[in-house]
Amino acid sequence: MPPYLELKGIAKSYGDGAPTVAGFDLAVMSGEFITLLGPSGCGKTTVLRIIAGLLAPTTGTVLLKGEDITARPTHLRNMGFVFQNYALFPHLSIERNVAFGLEMRGISGAKAHERTGRALDLVRLSAFRGRRPKELSGGQQQRAALARALVIEPAVLLLDEPLSNLDAKLREELRDEIREIQRRLGITTIFVTHDQSEALTMSDRIVVMEGGRVEQVANPVDIYERPATPFVAGFIGRTNRLQAIVRASAAEGATLAAGDETFTVRGALRAGHAVTAMIRPHRMRLAKTASGGDANVLAARIRKVTFAGETIEYDVEAAGTTLLVESPTSPVEGLRFAEGDNVSLCWDPADTMIFPR
């Protein structure tokens, strides 16, 4: 099946400085929910605006259903856009706001009223149709902006960090609502955010970006479990980093040395190479003594204990560096450790992510 939306070789530079976006390629299937994820300044919003036609790329093409729309002006692209600051028309009521796109398409009267009504019902704002934007809360305004973008039945729905201006609780609520609506309508959606939990919970696929380039494109599980670069591993969830040298290598695995300690990992590596080993904090365990088996074990000393409600975080010293271990809280007192304890730090070799240095 050909891609619904395609970006080929998209690049954007301003002046002589480093390009804001470089060599961006993406193929989106119909009905997919894609998230562009990355820190501020990584170029994700730039890419979104290029898709919408609000910005012209320096090079590259944008194709919609096989057609080259790179030169097409914004108002002819039929893409719904939801802005971070909602961008509702202050001088129009919510109803007129939502109906605006229909007016531009020459749809008015009963037809427009019906479609506007349905869009407002979808976001549960029917009671507010006569109000002005400034009379609504942030969350309500965002839902109105969503209705406005959806009522025109756009080819693509674009959202630019729509939840960033809302408080945490509201963000979670709206996150679910948006995903639910998107699934129901089956609209191809591109979502931009810097919040990795939004990306992980909402997306079919995630595009991780940094410095204007794509670091990895994959579904949430793969992004989390099999990050392609140290940046992705570090950006998604928390990780521990160990700088290590490959001591010995065999078919089933390799032995790495970091500090005075050694541990094993899966995968074939060349002896003598320097690598970065990354392990997620919640994949590590602390034990009073080594339990045997083929888990990696390091001698560790507990520096700090932080109780975080659902988990306990231990800052431990091991292999010449500080590592973070996350354990679920347990009602059994005996499994808790204290500052200064000498313990064994264990984890499954398969949980180690290796990146060449």
Site for other proteins in 153-212 (CB under 8 A): 158
Complex with other proteins: residue 15 or 331, whichever CB lies closer: 15
Q: Using the rule CB under 8 A, is 74 a contact of other proteins? A: yes
Complex with other proteins: residue 98 or 297, whichever CB lies closer: 98
Q: Using the rule CB under 8 A, is 58 a contact of other proteins? A: no
Q: Using the rule CB under 8 A, is 340 a contact of other proteins? A: no
Span from 29-37, 46-54, 118-126, 261-269 in contact with other proteins (CB under 8 A): 46-54
Q: How many residues bind other proteins (CB under 8 A)?
A: 29
Q: Rounded to the nearest whole angstrom, what is the least distance from the CB of residue 41 to other proteins in the complex? A: 19
**Residue 351 · residue 279 · CB < 8 Å:** yes
**Alpha-carbon span 299 to 9, nearest angstrom:** 49
Q: Rounded to the nearest whole angstrom, what is the least distance from the CB of residue 109 to other proteins in the complex? A: 17
Q: At 136, list the tokens.
A: 């609504």
Site for other proteins in 94-113 (CB under 8 A): 100-101, 104-105
Among 18, 25, 39, 89, binds other proteins (CB under 8 A): 89
Q: Rounded to the nearest whole angstrom, what is the least distance from the CB of residue 15 to other proteins in the complex? A: 12
Q: Rounded to the nearest whole angstrom, what is the least distance from the CB of residue 134 to other proteins in the complex? A: 13
Amino acid at 77: R
For binding to other proteins (CB under 8 A), which residues are involved? 52-54, 73-81, 83-85, 87-91, 100-101, 104-105, 145, 148-149, 152, 158
